[in-house]
Amino acid sequence: MKLSIVIADSGALPSAFVVFRGIEASMKAASELGYDGVELALKRPEEAPPEKLDSLLSRYRLEVSAISTGQVYAELGLSFSDPPSAKKETLVKMFHGFIDLAAGYGGKVNIGRVRGNKGTQDPEASVARFVETVRELAAYAEKKGVTLLMEPVNRYELDFVNSVEEGARIIERIGSGGIKLMPDVFHMNIEDATIGGELEKWIDKIGYVHLADSNRLAPGQGHTDFDDIFAHLKKAGYAGWVSVEILPKPEPYTAAQQAAVFLRKYLRE
């Protein structure tokens, strides 16, 4: 397994859920702390120009683990569940841009908050629009050798695809090889009956894992059982990325350091 941390540009929205801000400063810190990679939380593909990425990644000996897109919904105010419109076309084109960028950097693009809510008016129609939009994007991603990552998110943030099992079922419904699951153990602690057990059960569909403790601080600062999580991931043969997505508390560098120090033992074993 390889260890990554979520970072963003200095112009990231206040709602961006990242540990460090400012691409260069973040990469320098991640590298010093022994991370193998960085997950780029972008609101537009142009925020991470390839020339800049190439020079920073080689200077700090890092890889891009994935591109995450949580800010896109906040920035554009529309989602994959919305009815067709010119704005929705803009959203889909923007995802083509993320996929094109990921083709050279990490090969993974996440779908979290941008799926939107199914609402109460006609929830099945919203979910159907979501499935259709993601199916199209997954086909585009597959052609580019990129995997979309569907992130189950807890009920207090989104009203569908909350548990890993729901994520697995919707991936089956999408029916494409271009999409996998991105379980986040913080959300799993709220929505899933077990964490390690569910990860092992759905391992064939899992392409990436987000790590945070029960209180969303660095792993080791809450009551999540990481011994159990890593025992199951190892038993299942998981060899992909685990990425630290935590609150920047008590302050970003300390939080990232706590996570790296705590997780090192599982990654070395």
Q: Which residues bind ligand LER (CB under 6 A)?
A: 17, 68, 70, 112-113, 151, 153, 157, 184, 210, 245
Residue number closest to Mn ion, CB atom = 184
Q: How far is the CB of 20 from Mn ion (least distance, A)?
A: 16
Nearer to ligand LER, 8 or 23 (CB): 8
Q: How far is the CB of 182 from ligand LER (least distance, A)?
A: 8
Catalytic annotation present for 245? yes
Nearer to ligand LER, 17 or 35 (CB): 17
Q: How far is the CB of 249 from ligand LER (least distance, A)?
A: 15
Q: How far is the CB of 251 from ligand LER (least distance, A)?
A: 20
Residue 113 binding result from Mn ion, ligand LER, none, given CB thresholds of 5 to 8 Å by partner type: ligand LER
Q: Which of 158, 157, 102, 154 is nearest to 130 (CA)?
A: 158
Catalytic residue selected from 47, 75, 151, 200: 151
* DSSP assignment of the chain: -EEEEEEE-TT--TT---SEESHHHHHHHHHHTT-SEEEEE-SSGGGS-HHHHHHHHHHTT-EEEEEE-HHHHHHH---TTSPS-HHHHHHHHHHHHHHHHHHHTTTEEEESGGG----SSSHHHHHHHHHHHHHHHHHHHHHTT-EEEE----TTT-SS--SHHHHHHHHHHHT-TTEEE--BHHHHHHH-S-SHHHHHHTGGGB--EEE--TTSSSTTSSS--HHHHHHHHHHTT--SEEEE-----S-HHHHHHHHHHHHHHHHH-
Catalytic annotation present for 151? yes
Nearer to Mn ion, 56 or 183 (CB): 183
Nearer to Mn ion, 56 or 73 (CB): 73
Rounded to whole angstroms, the Cα distance separating 167 from 152 reads 6
Nearer to ligand LER, 56 or 185 (CB): 185
Catalytic residue selected from 39, 75, 200, 245: 245
Q: How far is the CB of 49 from Mn ion (least distance, A)?
A: 25
Mind telling me the catalytic residues? 151, 245
